[in-house]
Structure 1
Amino acid sequence: MKDTTKRKICFAVLVHENKELIKQLILNINHYCPNSYVVLYNGGKNSNLCTDLNVPVCPTSKQLKYGNLAMYFVETMEWLEEIELEYDYFINIDSDALFFRKGFEEFIEEQMQDADYMAVKLRIPDKNWTCGKSFIKEKDTWKPFFSVSSFLGVFNVGQVMSKALVKEFVNYEKKVELKTALTETTVFGIEEIVFVNLANELGFKLKNYPEEVGQRLIRFRPYFTKSELIECIQLNEGWLVHPVKRKLNDPARNYIYDLQYGE
């Protein structure tokens, strides 16, 4: 497929283990999104995990606790502003996501023409949402930043933010207080709440991924199977899938690699 994009994506990839799979993910993104940048944030125990990968690594990377990944966003955004990387959209990707066909860059450029923020499952969550129940217990902490009476929720992976929104976050007048709150919070999955609500509070336009691309292909569980991927290709549906098992011999993962290297 001929590259027709005019905009550049910066994929911020959170990694924590298995260097070989990180290498494969970098190659996967480079192959299917050739007009994009890849940067890493090392959220694992091994400080040498990202050495010799020939990809920029956020210098403030630190081990993160599962359920609170928000500082990976904040520190990566700050660093990108410091190094003055030229990009148009910031997208977070976990290390268990993979592309299986080209076209995602064009999809993002089209979708983001009328928005500055896009996410999977953007909604006012119901009372049974695990992250929301955790958030309500701390709602007074977040009142200085955004509305807590009808707050929004999203699925973490694949949040898209325009560079204008990223700059607004980096220069946010309450950023010191916000970073303190993010560091001290016990809210599980705060990264699925804080950025969408801040974007909304700051007056930026939000939108949902189309359902057939978002909720079906970018989800918490179950892990993707080879048969599901074959169906997606037959239906000409989607570009990015999450989650794929972090195992070298996983059939779905190997099927994607066969597609990638067979092109």
Structure 2
Amino acid sequence: MICMALLAHEDEHALRNQIRNIRKYNPQDVQIVFYNGGQDANFGKKICEEEKVMYCPYSRPLQQRTSGRFFYDVMRYLEDKKVEYEYLVYMEYDIMFVNSGFREYLLGKMEGCDCLIKMIRKEVDPNQASWPPAKDMWKDWERWKTIFNSDSFYRTSSPMSVFRHGIIKQMLAGLNKKRLERLFDSSNIPCLGEMLYITLAKKYGGKCKIYGDNTKRFLRFRPAITLKEIKEAKKRPEVMFVHPVKDAGVREWIFNQS
């Protein structure tokens, strides 16, 4: 089974449409876990009940670009609840599907590996770091290296990253959870999740594969996906999802497609 970990913080109409969009294009063997990263403690609860989506009770308010603990909270919730799944997918409020086929693509692409990601870079020298969050990690490295037990770390792009349940179990089992909680509480490293999970996976021997170039074009940080691009993606069956969808009109167009 595939489990989608969905992070959102506002706009219940958009949340409901996104849940239905996920289910429309992934009708088989898919569970959704919703994580409320907003200030309203009740955001999304009614929708989760009505749409039969799991609500992560470890949800808490998160700041933009400092949402690193979201995936960890979902991982440990699924373990505590003893949910059976094979793959966990990192989703955010601005990801939408435009074509079917993700399950089949995933089963084929993940054969013999533990992670499916957009890209991977290894950071080995603080003086050579060019990405600002990596620079921040190096500044706080004396504390974080106790989690990684390494002299280096990796980074990726989180949206639509996929981790096999087996590697997640190893990651959770090997963590000093109290130490990690203290770091979550005291560290303000932006994009932390884009370094934390891939580095832990590699620590335990995780093998990673990269999304194909056609998919990566529509899986980016910025600029926002335009309606023209959405219409192009819709005509290309190898493009299954798009990110980031920021415009409400674009979101509605995707949702209303038959």
Matched, 1:172 2:174: yes
Equivalent residues of 1:139, 1:148 under 8 A apart: no
Alignment partners' CA distance in 1, 2:34 and 2:247: 17
Unaligned runs of 5+ in 1: 1-7
Alignment partners' CA distance in 2, 1:72 and 1:44: 12
- For 1:36-185, what aligned pairs fall within 5 Å after superposition? 36-53=30-47, 54=49, 55-124=53-122, 127-146=129-148, 149-185=151-187
Alignment root-mean-square deviation, CA? 1.7
1:194-248 per-residue CA deviation (whole Å, 9 max, x = no partner) reads 110111111111222222212x11111111112112222334331011110152x
- For 1:15-54, what aligned pairs fall within 5 Å after superposition? 15-35=8-28, 36-53=30-47, 54=49
TM-superposed deviation, 1:173: 4.2
Identical-residue share of aligned pairs (%):
29
1:161-214 per-residue CA deviation (whole Å, 9 max, x = no partner) reads 111112122222423212322232121111110110111111111222222212
Equivalent residues of 2:145, 2:151 under 8 A apart: no
Normalising by structure 2, what TM-score? 0.91
TM-superposed deviation, 1:148: 5.8
Alignment partners' CA distance in 1, 2:76 and 2:147: 19
Normalising by structure 1, what TM-score? 0.89
SS at match of 1:193: helix
Equivalent residues of 1:29, 1:98 under 8 A apart: yes
Paired residues, what number?
249
Alignment partners' CA distance in 2, 1:182 and 1:151: 17
- Structure 1 residues 20 and 113, CA, compared in 2 at 3 Å: closer, same or farther? same
TM-superposed deviation, 1:24: 0.3
Q: Which has a greater percent of helix?
A: 2
- Report the counterpart of residue 241 of structure 1 in structure 2: 242
TM-superposed deviation, 1:135: 1.1
Alignment partners' CA distance in 2, 1:235 and 1:196: 29
Query: Runs (4+) of structure 1 moved beyond 6 Å?
Result: none
Give the counterpart letter for 1:32 in structure 2: Y
Alignment partners' CA distance in 2, 1:83 and 1:11: 15
Equivalent residues of 1:92, 1:159 under 8 A apart: yes
SS at match of 1:48: coil
- Structure 1 residues 196 and 104, CA, compared in 2 at 3 Å: closer, same or farther? same
- Structure 1 residues 151 and 201, CA, compared in 2 at 3 Å: closer, same or farther? same
- Structure 1 residues 224 and 173, CA, compared in 2 at 3 Å: closer, same or farther? closer
TM-superposed deviation, 1:103: 0.4
Equivalent residues of 2:100, 2:237 under 8 A apart: no
Alignment partners' CA distance in 1, 2:241 and 2:3: 15
1:132-180 per-residue CA deviation (whole Å, 9 max, x = no partner) reads 1111111111222326644211011111111111212222242321232
SS at match of 2:255: helix
- Structure 1 residues 180 and 204, CA, compared in 2 at 3 Å: closer, same or farther? same
Deviates more, 1:177-186 or 1:84-93: 177-186
